Structure 1
Amino acid sequence: MADRRRTFGPVVLLGLAGGTLAAVGGNQQVVSGEASSASLQMTFDASMPLVTALALVALAAWGVLLVTRGRVRRAMAVLGTLAAAGALVAAIAAYPQVSDDLREQLGQLGIDDGEVGPTGWYWAAVLGTVLALVAGVLATLWCRAWPEMGRRYDAPTAAAPVSEVPPEEQSSLDLWKALDEGRDPTAPRTDEG
């Protein structure tokens, strides 16, 4: 159990790094084309917006995972894993489509000998989705053993009881605690009967 607690930081960093790399890579030009018969410049939007969107979902799941515990934490780990898996599938499926779109645009310009290939951003996006997927699977398996935020950061669930001691007899610490709980220690008490 103690060994799994030590995995918290590395796995979270791996998930955040993978999600960020996938989100940035999916938003960049993922294919490029060259033609030897013509010297012309053309712009071609070859990003993978679905990969970017799913990577952002995975990043959001990591953010929620950091501040939750129990079943919600595990659900966020599963959601992040599913989003990363979807991003990986989308990245693999997008490459042939984006490449065919670029070849078609080159063909409309009369360039049939153009070479189309992936850029470094494509491989960065694929690597990022794989890293995010691995981190998500590890988080799903190990999140129960990870440290959690203390309950003192939770919102109060019930109204705090009114102190029976008059403010003059309370210590400074008791007065500050009352203020922290949202009560006015100098306000007159109302006796409920």
Structure 2
Amino acid sequence: MADRSFGPTLLAGLAGAGLAATAGHRDWVELSARGSDQAAADWFWQNAPGLGQMPASGALGLVALAAWGVLLVTRGAWRRAVAGLGLLASLGLAAVWVIGALTLRDDVSAAVTRAELAPGWSLGWTSWFVMAGIAVVLLVPAHVVALLRVPRWPAMGSRYDAPTGAPRPGAESSAAAAAVPVADLGEEDPADVWKAIDEGRDPTERVDP
């Protein structure tokens, strides 16, 4: 009987990996200010790209996404190895999210303070920070399940493998058909050629005596 964990685990893993790869390239922290000071805050934020981001999250999300893709087209021990790599990437993503939660706002605050903006500014978490956390919740369990149950999951058929040196069934007959001797019409009398065509015979087919 097919393992029912395959479909839900795959969907959760792909969703989590895609979400992590996207959230890793978005701001997790946003800067806001009161009244007219907002223009200065916006100018500072535009000139400090990536200040509120955790780029490692995006990189690890791409690794996890690639692991799911490779897992679908491999078999045997390689599948388990790829599932293990994906689990390491998802655990790394969890660590990056925790580090971001603990340090990112302080790092951004220090950078804003050094820029000497007006004192009415504040920092807050964006929805992408929450999305990255959801990605962790989806990815880590999905990769754990994959590592444990991947040997029972369906694999791509062998018809998608690279061709080997063994001939395909029927290849011998095709080769034999290709080896049928063909007459050189350059040495034939044109009248005989037209006569053969008129009688419904192939003038290129050599007839052995």
| TM-score, structure 2 normalization | 0.72
Is the 1:106–1:112 Cα contact (8 Å) retained in structure 2?
no
State the distance in 1 between where 2:176 and 2:118 align. 81
CA contact (8 A) 1:31 1:117 kept: yes
Which consecutive unaligned segments of at least 5 residues does structure 1 have? 163-173
SS state at 2:13 partner: helix
The structure-2 alpha-carbon separation of the partners of 1:185 and 1:30, relative to structure 1 and needing over 3 Å to count, comes to: farther
Query: In 2 relative to 1, CA 184–63 (structure 1 residues): closer, same or farther, beyond 3 Å?
Result: farther
State the 1:95 CA deviation: 3.6
- How far 1:161 moved relative to its partner? 4.8
- Identify the residue that residue 136 of structure 1 maps to in structure 2: 143
Distance change (3 Å), C-alpha of 1:141 and 1:128: same
User: Which residue among 56, 80, 83 is the counterpart of 2:89?
Assistant: 83
| Equivalent position of 2:4 in the other structure | 6
Report the counterpart of residue 92 of structure 1 in structure 2. 98
The residue that corresponds to 2:23 in the other structure is 25
Counterpart mapping for 1:1-193 below 5 A: 2=1, 5-36=3-34, 38-39=37-38, 40=40, 41=42, 42-43=44-45, 44=48, 45=50, 46-107=52-113, 108-112=115-119, 114-157=121-164, 159-161=165-167, 175=170, 178=171, 184=175, 186-188=177-179
- Report if aligned partners of 1:12, 1:62 keep a CA contact under 8 Å in 2: yes
What is the CA deviation profile of residues 86-110 of structure 1, one whole-angstrom value per residue up to 9, with x for unaligned ones?
0111122134443223212321224
- Classify the secondary structure of the residue corresponding to 2:53: coil
| Residues 1:63 and 1:161: Cα distance change in structure 2 (over 3 Å) | closer
Helix, strand or coil at the partner of 1:133: helix
Shift in alpha-carbon separation, 1:110–1:154, aligned structure 2, 3 A: closer
CA positional deviation for 1:32 = 1.0
Rg (Cα) greater in structure: 2
Q: In angstroms, what is the RMSD of aligned CA positions?
A: 2.5
Cα distance in 2 between the residues matched to 1:110 and 1:27? 25
- Tell me, in whole angstroms, the C-alpha distance in 2 between the residues paired with 1:184 and 1:14: 50
Q: In structure 2, how many angstroms separate the alpha carbons of the residues matched to 1:147 and 1:160?
A: 26
Q: Structure 1 residues 184 and 62, CA, compared in 2 at 3 Å: closer, same or farther?
A: farther
CA contact (8 A) 1:15 1:135 kept: yes
* CA deviation string 1:111-141 (max 9, x = no partner): 4453222111011012112211111001111
Stretches of 4+ aligned residues off by more than 4 angstroms:
none
Tell me the residue number matched to 1:166. none
**Structure 2 unaligned residues grouped into runs of 5+:** 181-209
Q: What residue in structure 1 maps to residue 188 of structure 2?
A: none
Could you tell which deviates more after superposition, 43-52 or 140-149? 43-52
User: In 2, distance between residues paired with 1:115 and 1:143?
Assistant: 47
The code of the aligned residue for 1:139 comes to A
